[in-house]
Structure 1
């Protein structure tokens, strides 16, 4: 019997090549949505386990749909708990996102939870992506994408130390939570918040050890990529809204009295 395919992780591949990886949010949390998004050419699909409806029983099917298109399934856990990290990966996620990381010690705890020995202490639970892959344990350590999110000024102050933690792939600046923590609720565009975001991304990128990442709508791509960000998270909500409004406007125009 020959060994099965390694089921590549395009986010990991792009970041390793020094390229930009784009991950799109999948708020509805279904395999059908992932399958539909796959045709659009994104590198990863964000499974929302902190704020959204992606429950554990859906991870297998959603990640399988992602594999049809070569997308990486990125699961955001609700908190830094080793059992949640290991469960997400065992069920089929290609990577894990952890919110509210503030120190290098917390980032190192993510690595320990996600990597098998000797790189970490993840329990030996293989899951579906190990099928017909005798070298899975070593391959998994190499292929998993680990993302930490900085959401307050303490995390930003420790950005370089966090970026230096071996095994991390992305240090992500979360603009909305940062705005709240800085006293500017709902204003990630506030000058103080924007300056903090830009400065953090620049420092993370300059460290050269991980990719800098952030929430990036289409009109901000130039700004963030010029600062060195290479992991861009976006949502399709704005596209649906724009398309729906354009359709409604076209209908209203066609029905207007002449």
Structure 2
């Protein structure tokens, strides 16, 4: 894995998500419960295209933005920051401090999607306030490059958002339309059960419609679901390392059972990391 250092806009610092999407590939963005730079650094070695920095539900703070985005850049990853709400000042601040892309939750209409573009893009594409930030240092034609490189994701979390897919995908500047399974399940009356047949059908139908439009379709992808979503046309997959920690811990405990407990019962030894 090599760092890209030259472009028409000067040095490129990360954002393999943009290049993966532009090349017609599948971008994978990993996340976990930690919002620290050392976590991004650890995830970087695993070859993912981006790191999800959680500002809606997680521990993301403004003073960590620079360090986390720099850690991502060391590995060529994009730092995708999820804002807590669609507020232009939050979007612009995150980008100025180093985010390579913005994720906005609970989008329901094309008008809201257009508001994200206006907040994230410099003129003439948008109305982002003119503040260069650290990613402008040493970069030629920063404003043009920033507009071209920033990745914008809107999340659809309820039936109203899904009903407006055809209008949302037509908004210029939106790169990914993301279907959020758990929130959709809650909105459809199936809290905690995104695998419910009605919810699964709605997710699959929405992902297919988005993919058919030419805009990248995105969704949460747990282990074992890659074939399902890629076959539907999804090209932005969000996943969490928490799943692999749990799976690895269970496998370790099972091995310990076989090695130490007659009949493979529950281990009596304490497991200490």
Instruction: State yes or no: 1:222 paired with 2:227.
Output: yes
TM-score by length of 2: 0.91
Report the equivalent of 2:218: 213
How far apart in 1 are the matches of 2:125 and 2:107? 20
Report the equivalent of 2:137: 131
Report the equivalent of 2:194: 188
Residue in structure 1 matching 2:24, options 18, 21, 28: 18
Q: How many residues get paired? A: 256
TM-score by length of 1: 0.97
Report the equivalent of 1:253: 258
Please state how far the C-alpha of 1:158 moved relative to its aligned partner.
Answer: 0.4
How far apart in 2 are the matches of 1:202 and 1:240? 31
How far apart in 2 are the matches of 1:241 and 1:8? 29
Task: Give CA-to-partner distance per residue, 1:80-122, whole Å, 9 cap, x none.
Answer: 0000000110110100000000000000000000000000000
Q: Is the 8 A contact 2:100 2:151 kept in 1?
A: yes
Report the equivalent of 2:71: 65
Please state how far the C-alpha of 1:69 moved relative to its aligned partner.
Answer: 0.4
3-state secondary structure, aligned to 1:218? coil
Please state how far the C-alpha of 1:4 moved relative to its aligned partner.
Answer: 5.2
Unaligned runs of 5+ in 1: none
3-state secondary structure, aligned to 2:33? coil
Report the equivalent of 2:82: 76
How far apart in 1 are the matches of 2:140 and 2:80? 24
Residue in structure 1 matching 2:240, options 218, 232, 235: 235
Residue in structure 2 matching 1:9, options 6, 10, 15: 15
| Superposition CA RMSD, Å | 1.3
3-state secondary structure, aligned to 2:199? helix
How far apart in 2 are the matches of 1:84 and 1:48? 13
Instruction: State yes or no: 1:105 paired with 2:133.
Output: no
Report the equivalent of 2:210: 204
Please state how far the C-alpha of 1:26 moved relative to its aligned partner.
Answer: 3.4
Unaligned runs of 5+ in 2: 1-5, 264-273
